Structure 1
Amino acid sequence: MRVLFVCVENTCRSVMAEAVFNRMARRWRAESAGLKAGGEYDSMALRVLEERGYEVVNREPRSLDSVRLEDYALVVTVCDESLCVSINHPRVERWSVEDPKGGSREDYVRTLEELEKRVADLVRRLEDEGA
């Protein structure tokens, strides 16, 4: 079973959520995409993830146009920008996670910590469903 994390450009929040989810989940896998593909992953997001021991497999942002939504059991938006509400999928969960882009290292750490909590709860719920 697969989960897709979505943010605006797939450069920061969705990448963080994907890395956290893939380390925590046993039976599920995550990928990420943006409403549009940004130019490159946010370097501070990558640094904070790597400092915490997370692995980032993909190294290039991708857009929703490059994925098949029907391949995912769940789509999780990690943005609250108005564009994030228009995803057409039968099972969408919406999280409002602050975008640390351009902020301090502490902003990125705070975002990662929030995602760790939310993802841990999501993993518990999904894996309990399949038990």
Structure 2
Amino acid sequence: MDILLISNEDTCRSRIAQELLHAFGRGMNISTAGIMEGNCVPDAVCNVMEQNGFSVSRKKPSGVGTYTHRSWDYVITLCKEAGEELKFITLDAKQQVHFNFEDPFKNRFQNESEQEQQIAALYETMYRRLYEFYRDELSGQLLPHCTCGANTYCRCE
């Protein structure tokens, strides 16, 4: 299953979502992009993800234009801005899903600790919402299905 995650700059929300979805299950080829290309993944995001057992990729953020030539099973926007901009971008997607996760960098912080707390709160919110989405929408499509009619636990496929 091919999934494209789109956020503002491909530096925070898309990277968190990618790691979470990979952790929830197998069988997903997940790419990330931003409406605009960000510069790099902030250290605060990497720190929060490492505290939760993930190693966030330091690959350079990419713009959504990089992925317009591919077809996707799901295109998932992760913020209001990405949802609005997607109307003007042509993507071949079987399904489009929108989440409106807050930007943890929209406020100025006194220190890095406050910023990490904001990102940690975002992580928790994203974990809950994306797990519900995975459980209700994706997992059934990823698991093997019985085609012989033996029972629901058959793995004939």
Q: Is the 8 A contact 2:34 2:62 kept in 1?
A: yes
TM-score normalised per structure 1: 0.87
**RMSD of aligned Cα (Å):** 1.9
Count of residues in correspondence between the two structures: 131
How do 1:1-131 residues align onto structure 2 when only pairs under 5 Å count? 1-68=1-68, 70-81=70-81, 82-89=84-91, 90=93, 91-101=95-105, 103=109, 104-124=115-135, 125-131=137-143
Q: Is the 8 A contact 2:46 2:55 kept in 1?
A: no
Largest Rg, 1 or 2: 2
CA distance in 1, matches of 2:87, 2:42: 23
Structure 1 gap ranges (5+): none
Paired letter, 1:88: T
Partner SS for 1:40:
coil
CA distance in 1, matches of 2:43, 2:121: 16
Deviations 1:7-59 (A, max 9, x none): 11101111111111111122223221001211111221111011101132352
Q: Is the 8 A contact 2:5 2:17 kept in 1?
A: yes
TM-score normalised per structure 2: 0.74
Which is worse superposed, 23-32 or 104-113?
A: 23-32
Structure 2 gap ranges (5+): 110-114, 144-157
Q: Which runs of 4+ in 1 moved over 6 A?
A: none
Higher relative CO (Cα under 8 Å, sequence separation at least 6) belongs to: 1
CA gap 1:94/1:85 in 2 versus in 1, 3 angstroms: farther
CA gap 1:54/1:8 in 2 versus in 1, 3 angstroms: same
Identity score, percent: 22
CA distance in 2, matches of 1:80, 1:46: 23
